[in-house]
Chain A
Amino acid sequence: EPEVTQTPSHQVTQMGQEVILRCVPISNHLYFYWYRQILGQKVEFLVSFYNNEISEKSEIFDDQFSVERPDGSNFTLKIRSTKLEDSAMYFCASTGDTAGGYTFGSGTRLTVV
């Protein structure tokens, strides 16, 4: 079964540093997403991406965050200057159309110290 691949699985960074989380969505999918889960809480939507642009973003997704699809396979989330409260599990997801199911990656656990 096709998978969404995320790297790295864990990342520890110092406050104020930039991080890039990487995702390889399923190859024929068109819609891409980032979600975040702070420890012990529910999964929250960050941003959706379609046709090489952001289609929707949440209040969490402020100017510190950006997304990019630099080539035909990768989808990245950049946090420009990390804060302690950015510590969370970040999930990438993709879907082939607006009616189908979402496939989630295994997540990147980000710890900001």
Chain B
Amino acid sequence: GIQVEQSPPDLILQEGANSTLRCNFSDSVNNLQWFHQNPWGQLINLFYIPSGTKQNGRLSATTVATERYSLLYISSSQTTDSGVYFCAARYGGATNKLIFGTGTLLAVQP
């Protein structure tokens, strides 16, 4: 079936460090989004990025659709970056549903 896989599953950083989170998907996508789930459980949309590169402050994302992966970069991490990061993909065709990956749990220590 359609798969969305994320790595690493867990990541511990010191404040100020940089990190790269990876999302692999098993087929062509027409939507790829990155979300941050905060400690209260809310899903915060970070990027809508089916292809190309986008930047928003200390965060940036790149999707290489032809190679079926997306990367989320976090620079100069802060304790408020802690939480779970999910990528989610939509494969088009007859379905509009987003399929979520299993997430990366990030802990940024002061």
Residues of A within 8 A of B (CB): 31, 33, 35, 37, 42-45, 48, 50, 55-56, 58, 89, 91, 93, 95, 98-104, 106-107, 109
Contact = CB atoms under 8 A, between A and B. Distances in A.
A86 B63 CA distance: 35
Contacts of A48: 96-97
Nearest to B101: A42
A84 B51 CA distance: 41
26 contacts: A31-B96, A33-B97, A33-B98, A42-B86, A43-B100, A44-B100, A45-B97, A45-B99, A55-B96, A56-B96, A58-B97, A89-B41, A93-B98, A99-B30, A99-B31, A101-B31, A102-B31, A102-B33, A102-B45, A102-B88, A102-B98, A103-B45, A104-B35, A104-B43, A106-B41, A109-B41
Contact of A91 (B31, B43, B48): B43
B41 to A, nearest CB: 5
Interface in B1-49: 30-31, 33, 35, 40-43, 45, 48
A31 to B, nearest CB: 6
Interface of B: 30-31, 33, 35, 40-43, 45, 48, 86, 88, 92, 94-103
A111 to B, nearest CB: 13
A56 B95 contact: yes
B100 A101 contact: no
A92 to B, nearest CB: 11
Given A48-B96, A98-B92, 18 more contacts: A33-B96, A33-B98, A42-B100, A43-B100, A56-B97, A91-B43, A93-B98, A95-B96, A99-B31, A100-B31, A101-B31, A101-B33, A101-B45, A101-B48, A102-B31, A102-B45, A106-B42, A107-B43
